[in-house]
Amino acid sequence: MNRGIMGEQTQQSQLQSPELTLNDKTCTAIPQVGFGTFQIPPEDTQRAVEEALEIGYRHIDTAAAYYNEQQVGDALRATGMAGKVWVTTKLRNCDQGYDAARVAFDESRRKLGVDVIDMYLIHWPFPAAGFYEETWRALLRLRDEGAIRVPGVSNFLPEHLRAIIEDSGEAPAVNQVEVHPRFNQPGLRAYCKAHGIAVEAYSPLGHGKDIMSDPVQAAAAAHGVTAGQVVLRWHTQEGRIVIPKSKHVERMRENLVAGLGAGAAEGGFDLTPAELAAIDALDDPHANVSADPATFTHSQSWADQHVRGNI
Ligand SMILES: NC(=O)c1ccc[n+]([C@@H]2O[C@H](COP(=O)([O-])OP(=O)(O)OC[C@H]3O[C@@H](n4cnc5c(N)ncnc54)[C@H](OP(=O)(O)O)[C@@H]3O)[C@@H](O)[C@H]2O)c1
């Protein structure tokens, strides 16, 4: 997939993320390094996304629950990139259910200003509501209608993946989940691998904290790169999609460079098998920075869920 280059900036050399081929029906290629927009305030989002696009990001991650889809769409419209870069957005918990999901999808599509959403994820399984299986069927229908290129899920544990596979007969191509050195979820990753599901790592830097660990610092010194780049290269070498977020242009750039291998110009590098293994070994099943998907029910408009009778 070559999604073109921003009009005036075609003259400049831009960084480019490598792509991963997904295991969906059409073997879609996704840029492996995307730009995360969680907790970028709406008033800063358009600028941040425009900067990311200018640097060379061709994959933007947002969600209805981030309340910045409109501003992501504004950036796409202002740069002429709507429909030319990969955009992922997510369905809020309160919009789960077959019919509700279709309504929410249309609202996201309107805000983003695109006809087709590249990837649409169920944000959380929200098992307490009991709607995620029918919601998954709604996403598959939207895919069959041509409105979504790749339907997927987020925060799904093996039990939730198993349920939707049994119910619909189809596994998602992507599960966006929390993965970073100190919480790298080997069991969930193995389940995904066995079912051909690509893992997209959210909070890939552990909110910037995991970069302080010894093996990460040692590899950074050995390769002459930053600790953040070591962590992101660990992800990409192990085959994960990553969506780091930064408000700072220099970090945005260094994070995108970290997707490149040693063969690339622009400062790419490869970690050794021993360095990869040392980072894997940092795993601590209690070091998550986000919620437990088995029990996460609040937030994302709890009040809305009440009004809709979901809970
Ligand atoms: N599906 C879900 O439930 C879910 C949940 C959480 C996140 N996400 C997605 O994943 C994206 C990324 O996750 P995240 O924002 O939680 O965490 P993250 O990307 O792991 O970490 C972001 C933090 O790290 C800092 N940072 C960024 N690049 C750095 C670098 N090179 N060196 C040192 N520090 C660096 C940032 O600070 P500065 O901004 O100051 O640079 C920010 O404080 C989100 O934006 C969102 O799109 C999805």
Which tokens go with 108?
């996201």
Among candidate residues 57, 66, 132, 191, the one labeled active-site is 66
**Considering only CA atoms, which residue is closest to atom 41 of ligand 1?**
246
Active site residue 202: no
Structural domains of the chain, ranges and CATH numbers in brackets: 17-282 (3.20.20.100)
Cα–Cα dist 146/129, whole Å: 28
Supply angle C-alpha 65, 69, 72, rounded to 5: 140
User: Mind listing the pLDDT tens digit for each residue in 20-75?
Assistant: 999 999 999 999 999 999 989 889 999 999 999 999 999 999 999 999 999 999 99
By the 8 A CB rule, do 90 and 123 touch? yes
CA atoms in the 13 A half-sphere facing the CB of 215: 18
249 lines ligand 1 (CB under 6 A): no
pLDDT per position as a tens digit, 125-179: 999 999 999 999 999 999 999 999 999 999 999 999 999 999 999 999 999 999 9
Is-above-0.75 flag for pTM?
yes
